[in-house]
Amino acid sequence: MLVHFLFLVFMAVGGFLAWRRPRLIWAHLAVAAWGVASVITGMECPLTVVEDWGRRNAGQEGLPAGGFIDHYIEGVVYPEEHTNLARLAVAALVLVSWAGYLRRKARAGSPPHVNQE
């Protein structure tokens, strides 16, 4: 469960981490692409499959049909009727983090400002 939650946190804010560690941008792009694909196609996350397997082998009840997000996030962190708003907020965070990353990268690549007075 903890790994799954950290994965979702990285999906939301990993682009900001790439501001300090630029190589993380590639991992974040992959995670964000997975997030978009899973929302669009409804694919089950492999982490949900692993968690469900672990819960069942530990003698616990498996995750409900909606998976990790339906069980731990929706209705707990935000009301279920605001799912689309939460998705938009995460998408906005990702886009802002990428814009900031690109801006920092452009600044790092530009020549230093020379005062020509």
DSSP the chain: -HHHHHHHHHHHHHHHHHHHSTTHHHHHHHHHHHHHHHHHH-PPPHHHHHHHHHHHHTTSPPPPTTHHIIIIIBTTTB-GGGHHHHHHHHHHHHHHHHHHHHHHHHHHHSPPP----
Q: Is the pLDDT of residue 47 over 60?
A: yes
Q: What's the pLDDT score for residue 115?
A: 55
Distance between CA atoms of residues 86 and 78, nearest Å: 8
Take residue 73 and report the two structure tokens written for it: 């996030």
- For the chain, domain boundaries: 2-109
Average pLDDT of the chain is: 88
Q: What percent of the chain has pLDDT over 70?
A: 93
CA torsion through residues 91, 3, 79, 56, sign: positive
- Check: CB of residue 32 under 8 Å from CB of residue 50: no
Q: What's the pLDDT score for residue 75?
A: 81
Q: What's the pLDDT score for residue 112?
A: 55
Q: What is the pLDDT of residues 17-45, one digit of tens each?
A: 999 999 999 999 999 999 899 888 988 88
pTM for the full predicted model: 0.80
